[in-house]
Amino acid sequence: MKDHVSRLPVRRAYLVTMAVITLLIAATIGAKNLYFRGDYSIFFDGDNPQLQAFNTIQDTFSKTDNISFVIAPRDGNIFTPDTLSLLRDLTNDSWQIPFSSRVDSLSNFQHTEAIEDDLLVEDLLLEDYPLDPARINKVKAIALQEPLLRDALISAKGDVAVVNVTLQMPKVDETAEITKVTDFAQTLLDKYRTEYRNVDFYQAGIVAMNRTFMDMAQKDSSTLVPAMVLIVLVFLTFMLRTFTAVLATLIVIIGSVTATMGISGWAGMFLSTATVNVPTLVLTLAVADCVHVIATMRQGMQRGMQKQDAIHYSIKLNAIPVLITSVTTAIGFLMMNASDSPILRDLGNLAALGIMIACFLSVTLLPALLTILPTRAPAIKAEGQFSWTDKLGNLVVQHRKIILPLSIVVLAGSTLLLPRNIVNDEPVKYFATDSDFRQAADFMADNISGMTSVSIAIHAGQPQGIADPSFLKILRDFTDWLRIQPETDHVASLSDTFKRLNMNMHGDDHQWYRLPEDRALAAQYLLLYEMSLPYGLDLNNQLNVDKSSIKLTLTTKNVGSKELVALETRIYDWFADHAPGYQVTASSPNMMFAHIGETNMASMLGTLPVTLVLISALMIFALRSLRLGVISLIPNIAPAAIGFGIWSLWSGEINLGLSVVVTMTLGIVVDDAVHFLSKYQIARKEGRNAEEAVRYAFNTVGRALWITTVVLVAGFLVLASSSFRLNSDLGQLSALIIFIALVVDFLMLPTLLMLFDRKPVQQAETEATLPDTHLPDTNHPVTQ
């Protein structure tokens, strides 16, 4: 039965080809249902506690989605007639941005001052006033002293200004909405760039960041996949030296990728910054399966077999190892379902699906195509001619007593370096320094303030409770404490407004720049101020309807997740110590990213033992050997340990993308070990000792392992060239671990086998060996 099934793609090549291609077309049609989402919310589950806190704050107050324009005159002075006119015009035009609900800038800041017995509330750059030197000097003095403006909408030096646009997007089709907003904003900036050639403009804010997420993903999908296909074709053509085999491999690759994306479309999934990498992953892993089948086929033809017999021989020899490696790799990717990020779970599920499709195609469509396409047999090399894999095998056998201790030392040293790695995410640094958003973020951080913001809601516990003098005192003390924290760039707090109103109502006497001490008076001040504010510039972004809660906005330097989480902890600790009676909630997109990296790493490490147990059990079952299954654990774990040890010296930062590398690469790493062990076991069952079996494994599978590793490393290095840091770091570390896996399986695994697998094995004919085929003499190894 097994023989009949394995011969089917050879005997019924045309039938198998047509049937499989029909299935692939049916699956691929689903790709028409795919759409792309690039907003930051796709990184988080609906039950994510930080996301829930953030949504609660937005529902209580107002949305915080924004886009900002940074204005930097090259003469380093905002306070000139031309630049102030520009600022006023841009503020007015920004109201036309789709979904805009509020525009804040130096121009329309609602300045208050006492005029005899009246409270005057008006735009700081009201158009009724000419921009003469006296007026400009007054505006400058106010702007650089006002806590709500300085380091938020104007730099402390007066050389950079910001126009901040708050958006109320319906979020029906977020991708279309983000595109509409950013395209309009870009058109607006292009207009002003043309009119003001001596001013530099930058576009920042959450919506700009979302658009950059989208652009990076689309750029990667349009450049990385074609680059990877080209690299694979070049490497395979050079290493396999057969055009028809490369063509067959290309068809399998295309079928695997298109079917995977099509099925995801049928399932109603969407593309994201993470899942656009699925074609690259599936492509590289599909190549690994194909290379083993093709390399063994060519080996059989080199030994004098007819092409059909060689293909059948290759299927019988590789079907189980390919299935094992595919299942173990799929298990590794499926363990990404423990991730707290939905799009990383999607990445794992789609990659696992693609791997199993590639496995199916490599033992059905690939041999059928190889049968149909003309293939020339490789030249038979002279007897006694050794390949480099034979020489390497002999070298490892001869020097095993040196190689094993050195390998253990390297593994132990790398393990000691692991604690040097820290989990740290900096969303701004996800993007390459040449991207417009990153340049805007870096410019803002250097000249005015960082882009990391945190919304802090304080609940007074009763309607109109924010006017209570005891609450205002807590608000003032907390604001003052926040401003002296090392991470802080700016704090927008209503306590400053209360102080200013109190001063205004006492004839602008600076001695009264303090909080009102009477609750009724504080409430009256606030009511008078609110009634004087124009439409769109009310206090709904800081107060809830019944005035029982107040919101502060903290802007910090562009710090990493570690510092941001530490600051959040200190905020909650401050309230526990100084105001235990008040409920406080702190959240923002930056805070959500700060937490998800740590929780993701913890969940991934939590599932690692389960992954190891599953893969080890599968290895023991497939190899039918407890000893070999246990021995395989070390070369399966060692690459990740060594890789992360080296990473601690190279970078030392584990971001959201790297938090899934261990489980993702574990299955890929098993590929080399499975193929090496399967060939080693064949030799052992033929009655050879451990040393001879190691030589046989090097001879029969060494070159195929080298080719698959080169292709996999090349694939992940293409991913490493991404301008999106989550992808580039993932590609770099994965490529490093996969290369280390080959080194470990060529050096450490054979020495472990020769040390612990000394027991003689009863000779028995194996399924993988054809009746007319015997193991080669180790003195005259078969070359590939």
Homologous superfamily (CATH) of 2-39+211-376+386-420+593-756 is: Multidrug efflux transporter AcrB transmembrane domain (1.20.1640.10)
pLDDT tens for each residue of 263-289? 999 999 988 878 887 888 888 778 888
What whole-number distance in Å separates Cα of residue 637 and Cα of residue 644? 11
Asked whether the beta carbons of 461 and 445 are under 8 A apart, the reply is: no
Other C-beta atoms closer than 10 Å to the C-beta of 443 total 16
Within the chain, which residue ranges are assigned CATH 1.20.1640.10?
2-39+211-376+386-420+593-756
Tell me the average pLDDT across 608-626. 79
Please give the structure tokens belonging to residue 780. 């005259």
CB 652 within 8 A of CB 420: yes
The yes-or-no verdict on residue 775 having pLDDT over 70 is no
Q: Which residues of 577-614 are buried (b: 16+ CB within 10 A; e: fewer)?
A: eebeebebbbbbbbbbbbbbbbbbbebbeebbeebeeb
Q: How far is CA 682 from CA 318, 378, 403, 632, 718, in A?
A: 12, 24, 24, 16, 36
pLDDT digits 0-9 by tens, 168-181: 988 888 888 999 99
**Tens of pLDDT, residues 289-304:** 888 888 888 888 877 8
Q: Amino acid identity, residue 456?
A: I
Q: What mean pLDDT is reported for the chain?
A: 87
Contact 584, 471 (CB under 8 A): no
pLDDT score of 773: 37
Q: Is the pLDDT of residue 765 over 60?
A: no
Range scoring the smallest mean pLDDT among 383-392, 395-404, 458-467: 383-392
Cα–Cα distance measured from residue 343 to residue 337, given in angstroms and rounded to the nearest whole number: 10
552 vs 299 pLDDT, higher one: 552
Cα dihedral: 7, 8, 9, 10 (round 10): 50
Which amino acid is residue 228, in one-letter code?
Answer: M
Mean pLDDT within 757-775 = 50
Closest CA relative to residue 181, chosen from 201, 203, 158 = 203
User: What is the C-alpha to C-alpha distance for residues 707 and 359, in angstroms, rounded to an integer?
Assistant: 18
What average pLDDT score do residues 104-120 get? 89
Q: Is 514 helix (H, G, I), strand (E, B) or coil?
A: coil
Structure tokens at 32: 């028409």
582: three-class secondary structure by DSSP? coil
Per-residue model confidence (pLDDT) at position 84 = 95
DSSP character string of 55-79: HHHHHHS----EEEEEEEETTS-S-
Bridge partners of residue 554, in order along the sequence: 454, 491
Mean pLDDT of 547-555: 93
CB 635 within 8 A of CB 289: no
**Cα angle: 222, vertex 223, 226; to 5 degrees:** 90
Residue with tokens 């779970």, as numbered in its chain? 345
pLDDT grade, residue 776 (50/70/90)?
Answer: very low
pLDDT of 492-526, one tens digit each? 999 999 999 999 999 999 999 999 999 999 999 99
Comparing CA positions, the residue from 362, 256, 270 lying closest to residue 315 is 362
778 and 696 Cβ atoms separated by less than 8 Å: yes
Q: Measuring CA to CA, how many Å separate 86 from each of 95, 185, 447?
A: 15, 15, 19
Strand order in the sheet with 452-459: 488-492, 549-556, 452-459, 583-587
| pLDDT tens-digit map of 146-157 | 999 999 999 999
Predicted pLDDT at 210? 86
How many Cα atoms occupy the beta-carbon half-sphere of 297 within 13 Å? 29
First to last CA, the chain: 30
- The pLDDT, as a whole number, for residue 385 is 53
Cβ atoms of 425 and 564 within 8 Å: the answer is no
Q: What is the pLDDT of residue 744?
A: 94
Phi-psi region of 11 (alpha: psi -120 to 50; beta: other; left: phi over 0): alpha
Which distant-in-sequence residues (6+ apart) come within 8 Å of 683 by Cβ? 692, 693, 696, 697, 775
Closest CA to 715 of 734, 696, 701, 729: 734
Q: Where are the alpha helices (DSSP H) in 241-277?
A: 243-266
Contact between 277 and 352 (Cβ < 8 Å)? no
Q: Rounded CA gap, 621 and 644, in Å? A: 30
Q: What is the 3-state secondary structure (H, E, C) of 87-128?
A: HHHHHHHHCCCCCEEEEECCCCCEEEEEECCEEEEEECCCCC
More confident residue, 233 or 197: 197
Structure tokens given for 76: 């380093």
Of the candidates 464, 458, 466, 527, which has an alpha carbon nearest to the alpha carbon of residue 491?
Answer: 458
Q: What are phi and psi of 334, to 5 degrees?
A: -65, -25
